[in-house]
């Protein structure tokens, strides 16, 4: 398949958080050649989350390497001022946490005003009621399966029923809203994440730490697709 065309059923989004930051451009090229559908770009501000990562300048720097969409995950508070900067820097998708916005509907509209897909991110303890009144405005729901802040954490199993619940809510809208899961996703839990209803999986340490990018991406995708198909069967 053309690497620039996202997989139609199960998208894999390697998180650069676990990449070699001294060679980010090469890392982006390598994971795309290995089958990445999106590049997941984690932005942390040492305020909304304890960690501190990268900003729009680094997004701009990887832009020419990213022949697939850049999926920006903003873990920053307040969030609105950074959105125009990431739009300018080449983001294709921008997702934010409702706790980081004073006016969630305004932030969604701000993202969409740049022609960018808008996503809302729910932490493990964030209730699904925050999707009320906004779900139909969204292009993507991002469910955290770890608490945000660090790569390499363990998948929180009790998020699985939440994935299923969001899948049902999305299906009820009849819209093509992506359901992305982020945190601790690995080949050995991807089947369960797929069978719960996810269609887009972020994987940081599971892709970058072993060094075998293609094998890691294919294993996650194959297992997640098996789960998704068992759900449909
Ligand atoms: C956590 C980040 C995740 C994380 C994923 O706050 O949003 O994207 O980097 O990394 P793994 O797959 O290692 O949990
Ligand atoms: Zn993330």
Flag whether pLDDT at 78 surpasses 90: yes
State the pLDDT at residue 81: 98
Question: What's the CA gap between 40 and 14, in Å, rounded?
Answer: 6
* SS3 (DSSP) at 200: strand
Question: CB of 14 closer than 6 A to ligand 1?
Answer: no
C-beta 40 within 6 A of ligand 1: yes
Angle CA 69–10–175, to nearest 5: 80
Of 37, 42, 139, 199, the catalytic one is: 42
pLDDT band at 6 (very low <50, low <70, confident <90, very high): confident
Q: Write down the pLDDT at residue 2.
A: 46
pTM (2 d.p.): 0.97
Residue nearest to atom 6 of ligand 1 (CA): 148
Q: What CATH number belongs to 11-232? A: 3.20.20.70
Average pLDDT in the 218-230 region?
97
Domain locations in the chain? Answer: 11-232
Q: What is the arithmetic mean of pLDDT over 43-62?
A: 98
Q: Which of the 8 DSSP states describes residue 158?
A: G
Task: Give 80 Cα–ligand 1 centroid separation in angstroms.
Answer: 22
Ligand nearest 51 Cα, by number?
1
> Backbone dihedral region of 232: left (phi > 0), alpha (psi from -120 to 50 degrees) or beta?
alpha
Question: What is the number of other CB atoms lying within 10 angstroms of the CB of residue 228?
Answer: 22
Distance from residue 59's CA to the centre of ligand 2 (Å): 14
Q: Is 194 helix (H, G, I), strand (E, B) or coil?
A: helix
Cβ atoms of 179 and 170 within 8 Å: the answer is yes
Pocket flag, ligand 1, residue 27 (CB < 6 Å): no
**Buried-state track 100-119, b at ≥16 Cβ within 10 A, e below 16:** bbeebeebbebbeeeebbbb
Once rounded to an integer, what is the mean pLDDT over residues 13-32?
98
Across 50-84, b (16+ Cβ under 10 Å) vs e yields eeebbbbebbeebeebbebbbbbbbbbeebbebbe
For 53, residues 6+ apart whose C-beta sits below 8 A from its C-beta are: 17, 42, 43, 44
Q: What is the mean pLDDT of residues 173-190?
A: 98
Position 4 confidence tier, pLDDT thresholds 50, 70, 90: low
pLDDT averaged over the chain?
A: 97
pLDDT at 95 over 50: yes
Determine the Cα angle at 175 with ends 166 and 189, to 5°.
40
Ligand 1 pocket test: pick from 42, 44, 76 the residue with the most ligand atoms within 8 Å of its Cβ.
42
Q: What local confidence, expressed as pLDDT, does residue 1 receive?
A: 45
* Mean pLDDT score, 128-135: 98
Q: Pocket of ligand 1, candidates 154, 183, 198: which has the most ligand atoms within 8 Å of its Cβ, to mutate?
A: 183
Mean pLDDT in residue range 66-81: 98
């Amino acid at each position: 398949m053309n690497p620039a065309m996202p997989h139609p059923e199960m998208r894999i989004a390697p998180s650069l958080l676990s990449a070699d930051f001294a060679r980010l451009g090469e890392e982006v090229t390598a994971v795309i050649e290995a089958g990445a559908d999106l590049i997941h770009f984690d932005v942390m501000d040492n305020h909304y989350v304890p960690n501190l990562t990268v900003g729009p300048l680094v997004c701009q720097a990887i832009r020419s390497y990213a022949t697939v969409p850049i999926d920006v995950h903003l873990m920053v508070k307040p969030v609105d001022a950074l959105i125009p900067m990431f739009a300018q820097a080449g983001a294709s998708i921008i997702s934010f946490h409702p706790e980081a916005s004073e006016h969630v509907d305004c932030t969604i509209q701000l993202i969409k005003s740049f022609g960018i897909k808008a996503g809302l991110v729910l932490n493990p303890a964030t209730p699904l009621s925050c999707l009320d009144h906004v779900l139909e405005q969204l292009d993507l729901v991002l469910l955290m399966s770890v608490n945000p802040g660090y790569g390499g954490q363990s998948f929180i199993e009790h998020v699985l029923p939440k994935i299923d619940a969001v899948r049902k809510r999305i299906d009820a809208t009849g819209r093509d809203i992506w359901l992305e899961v982020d945190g601790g996703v690995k080949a050995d839990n991807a089947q369960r994440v797929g069978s719960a209803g996810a269609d887009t999986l972020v994987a940081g340490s599971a892709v970058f730490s072993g060094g075998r990018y293609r094998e890691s991406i294919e294993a996650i995708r194959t297992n997640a697709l098996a789960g998704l198909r068992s759900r449909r069967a």
